[in-house]
């Protein structure tokens, strides 16, 4: 009996709007997903981030919900004005869009989830300040 290969979770080729926030930045940034799996997402944006950084993300679903999660950036690649980075998330929660609604007026690039931010901003350890 041989060793079974480790299988990665299925990836879904989905182009969805995403907001993310890094720990030292109080504003939400916008991007779009390239693909999504049960354990993370590949995100394209114009803002730089570094591998290893903790991150909070909200992915808007085509239905009336959002995937909400926290994790870390596992790799980032800049190509001109575009940045693509992979996020590893322990787990996503499904939240109603009414709990995490959007507004284009509250940050410099037009991205800011608002509403009941307790879904992403509950108390956390000092090294993970969001």
pLDDT tens, position by position, 11-66: 888 899 999 998 888 788 999 999 998 889 999 999 888 899 999 999 999 888 89
Residue 84 banded pLDDT, cuts 50, 70, 90: very high
| H or E stretch at 118 | helix 118-121
Structural tokens at position 100:
């995490």
Domains with residue ranges and CATH for the chain: 17-110 (2.40.10.220)
Instruction: Name the DSSP class of 28.
Output: -
Instruction: Name the DSSP class of 47.
Output: S
Average pLDDT of the residues of the chain: 76
Distance CA 128, CA 126 (A): 5
User: What is the pLDDT at residue 125?
Assistant: 30
DSSP, collapsed to helix, strand or coil, labels residue 90 as strand
User: What is the pLDDT at residue 3?
Assistant: 64
Parallel, antiparallel, or unpaired: how do β-strands 29-37 and 113-115 relate?
A: unpaired
């Amino acid at each position: 009996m041989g060793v079974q290969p480790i299988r990665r979770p299925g990836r879904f080729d989905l182009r969805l709007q995403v907001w993310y926030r890094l720990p030292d930045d109080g504003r939400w940034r916008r991007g779009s997903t390239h693909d999504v799996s049960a354990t993370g997402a590949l995100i394209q944006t114009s803002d730089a981030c570094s591998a290893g950084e903790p991150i909070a993300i909200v992915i808007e679903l085509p239905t009336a919900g959002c995937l909400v999660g926290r994790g870390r950036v596992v790799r980032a690649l800049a190509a001109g004005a575009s940045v693509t980075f992979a996020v590893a998330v322990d787990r996503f929660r499904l939240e109603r869009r009414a709990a995490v609604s959007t507004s284009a007026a509250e940050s410099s690039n037009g991205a800011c989830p608002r509403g009941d931010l307790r879904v992403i901003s509950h108390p956390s350890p000092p090294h993970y300040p969001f």
